[in-house]
Amino acid sequence: MHEAYLYERSEDGKVICFLCNHRCVISEGRRGICGVRENRGGTLYSLVYGLPVAQHVDPIEKKPLFHFFPGSRAYSIATVGCNFRCLHCQNYDISQMPRDHGRIAGDETSPEDIVRAALRTGCKSISYTYTEPTVFFELAFETARLAHSRGLYNNFITNGYMTQEALYDIAPFLDAANVDLKAFTEEHYRKVCGARLQPVLDSLKLMKGLGIWVEVTTLIIPGLNDDEPQLRDVARFIKDELGPETPWHVTAFFPTYRMTDRSRTPPSSLRRAREIGLEEGLRYVYTGNVPGEEGEHTYCPSCGRVLIRRYGFYIVERSLRDGRCTGCGTRLDGVGLDWGRS
């Protein structure tokens, strides 16, 4: 075990965790909502430090991050546990393992091991993903700091529920984040995710202010968050608070876990969501989980030329020179856009 970061002891033997915005007050012998931080004798421990349950090499587009070293590979890690309980979680077998099955699983691995594997496999960055990286913050922080010293970049694929304290700590080593903005109502967050909306909005704004490259993903669930007023609210928030250069990914829902009563998202709904984002002034809006759609490509926001053509998670054609459109010369927004080009 590893003593946790970001907590305080109280006189009654309880501890107050301020890693995420649940800010759990945890009694002796109990765990926080995430299921992986436990109070033992007035000390809070991470039960998943050095125990990743998944380690894979992924295309960065899978995260999805489309404007962060496009075409590169990311060494992707996760532990069990999550501070949300999303009814539609696609990785519920590992994210909800501590809550549903009372188990902590993983292979003993150090930050040095992870960085060494990322370098050996030719990855440009390390992605903290699949579950919620906030709940394995200690491992993520120490790995990210070491990765930076070895010339690797770091990105979080996150629900955005971390506290400001956690963000300020990780920011010097966190280069990019894709944040799930699951809906734009408190009711959806409360009923579907077991959380609140406002802390996610606050995290997004703080990330942007700290210079972290931010992309946003919204899973479009039929009948829950696919109405036009709500989609316009999301798009307006991104444009007004994060900037029109912030990519928005609208992705298809597939029935899973505890939400098998909903149908798949029709491609027409994704296309309409994309249209709404563009109408509201966003420069880059992408459709996801439906390979072959026009919304997978990156277009020049000035002349409309296809600058990066994709199929699924893979790039099949580029029309960029020094990060600029080869048609009109407009600079594309993002980080490392010319990576991998001679």
Query: What one-character-per-residue DSSP string does 202-269 give?
Result: HHHHHHHHTT-EEEEEEEE-TTTT--HHHHHHHHHHIIIII-TTS-EEEEE---BTTB-SSPPPPHHH
Nearest to 60 by CA among 330, 337, 314, 285: 314
Computed over every residue of the chain, the mean pLDDT equals 97
pLDDT in tens, 74-90: 999 999 999 999 999 99
Q: What's the pLDDT tens digit per position in 115-166?
A: 999 999 999 999 999 999 999 999 999 999 999 999 999 999 999 999 999 9
pTM as predicted: 0.97
Asked if residue 38 has pLDDT above 70, the reply is: yes
CB neighbours of residue 58 within 10 Å: 16
CB atoms within 10 A of CB 337: 22
DSSP string, 40-92: ETTEEEES-TT--SEEEEEEGGGTT-SSBSTT-EEEEEE-S--S---TT-TTH
Residue-level pLDDT at 340: 66
Domain range annotation of the chain: 2-46, 54-325
pLDDT by residue (tens digit) across 49-67? 999 999 999 999 999 999 9
**Mean pLDDT to the nearest integer, 192-199:** 98
Altogether, the residues listed in the chain come to a count of 342
Residue 17 pLDDT more than 60? yes
Q: Which residues pair with 15 in a beta bridge?
A: 9, 26
The confidence band for 180, taking pLDDT boundaries of 50, 70 and 90, is very high
For residue 342, the model assigns a pLDDT of 42
Instruction: Report the CATH architecture of 54-325.
Output: Alpha-Beta Barrel (3.20)
